[in-house]
Amino acid sequence: MKIPKIAEAMGEIDADLVSASAKERRAAKQPWIKWSILTAACLCVLIVAGMIVVPMMMGGEDILPGENRETVSFGDLERNYKKQDAVGQELAIEWADKYLSPFEKHWSILWAFRNYVSSDVMVQPEHLGKKLGNYLEFEIRSIQNMPTEYAIALGYQGQYYTYRCRDALDDIPVTLGELFDRYNLARVLEFNHFSTVENKHQTTGYYALTDDAYIIEVLASCRDAKLYVAKDGKEWEQSKEYLSFTMTSDALGVYKRAMYITEDGYLWTNVFEYAYIYEIGTEAANKIIDYAMTNSVEKPMEPYEYRLAGTLTKIEDGYAYIDDSIMCVDPSEGMVFRVSTDDIRIARWLETFVQVGDFVVVTFRGGIDLENGNLILDARSIEEAYFSDGDWYVPE
């Protein structure tokens, strides 16, 4: 078995330290990890592994009745799993500096006399522009279709993250046209998934758009739509009915933020950190709503992050392999998935808390590349999990 070494990615690590941590991997305390609950301001050095629930059912090889099974979706892949819970550890870990990803190590940088803040959104290679310089051991590159005064990419060993200019975020455009011009939204904005909402909070359906070009065209035509300003102390009141679009963009540095198009003619979004509200008018809003409802297909709810549970069967050639047979209604339909150990966020768990044979939960954002050996994309953690029974759970 080939154990991935973080030393290969981040510099040499004392061999005795690694050896000791492997022997005491399940101990309550370890000399090189400080355990604490940190505030949001410390997210740059924090990985929070909260309660993780994955459908599962213990015992029995017989095919289960319908009420004891569940279809679980991982993007384009659906799995027929047993109903029961796999629960991950509840940990708040402040990793030692050498175990941090670039985003965690330098969540804020000063470059070209501007303050840039990491968004924890990884930039895909096809979206990277030219090299702009260096920041310590990190390379700075532009992002295609994005002005550098608003966002740049910071990278190390092939992994780049979007850094947005904090100074620009404090300067809110007064019209939707100015917002489109500033961030080149016509080229970097994408509308993929949305949900329908009634009575302000009741979600009535989930959908995927077949094409978003018309929606972007309508919004781009609303150049004169003004930023909503409270009048006579009266704050904006959210419409009872609206479409809630899920917004993800490498260039903008946003992951699954929201944009509402309300029936009474407003656009609300938290894509730019603060809540931006523009009065686009009922005509434009209804064009978007009508188009979306007639050019989409109903889809299952898409979670903020995916979680896949199974048995860690081996670690070799730069990958960890997870077999989900134990999760399946019919174990013979089990699949083997793999996750890259080159990412330090995965390697640090494999060197300290997880070993071959463990039942684990992998948290990831990028879906599964079925054509590339069931590769799990943009994995965030791989934790030892437990089987639960009601309100109780015990280590397997």
In the 8-state DSSP scheme, what is residue 203?
Answer: E
Mean pLDDT of 123-137: 91
Total number of residues shown for the chain: 396
Give me the number of domains the chain comprises: 3
Claim to verify: residue 241 and residue 348 sit in the same structural domain: no
Q: Answer yes or no: is 359 within a domain.
A: yes
Residue 220 belongs to a domain: yes
Taking residues 265-286, report their average pLDDT. Answer: 92
| Tens digits of residue pLDDT in 192-230 | 899 999 987 889 999 999 999 999 999 999 999 999 987
Per-residue pLDDT reduced to its tens digit, 68-125:
677 888 888 989 998 766 666 656 677 888 788 777 878 889 998 999 998 888 888 9
Domain annotation covers residue 206: yes
Residue 102 domain-assigned (yes or no): no
The pLDDT assigned to 386 comes to 80
Among 121, 142, 168, the domain-final residue is 168
Q: Are residues 195 and 294 in the same domain?
A: yes
Q: Residue 65 contacts by C-beta under 8 Å, 6 or more apart in sequence?
A: none
Same domain? 252 vs 192? yes
Is the CA virtual torsion 292, 293, 297, 303 positive or negative? positive
pLDDT, position 84: 67
Number of Cβ within 10 Å of residue 228's Cβ equals 16
187 with 265, same domain: the answer is yes
Whether residue 2 lies inside any domain: the answer is no
- Is the separation of the CB atoms in 82 and 65 below 8 Å? no
pLDDT for the residue numbered 115: 92
Distance separating alpha carbons of residues 103 and 160, to the nearest angstrom: 9
Identify the residue with better confidence: 187 or 16.
187
Q: Please name the residues in contact with 8: beta carbons below 8 A apart, sequence gap of 6 or more.
A: none
311: containing domain? 7-97+305-395
Residues 229-254: tens digit of each pLDDT:
877 767 778 778 999 999 989 899 89
In the sheet that holds 46-49, the strands lie side by side as 34-35, 91-94, 46-49
Cβ partners under 8 Å of residue 240, min gap 6: 198, 199, 200, 263
Shared domain for 89 and 121, answered yes or no, is: no
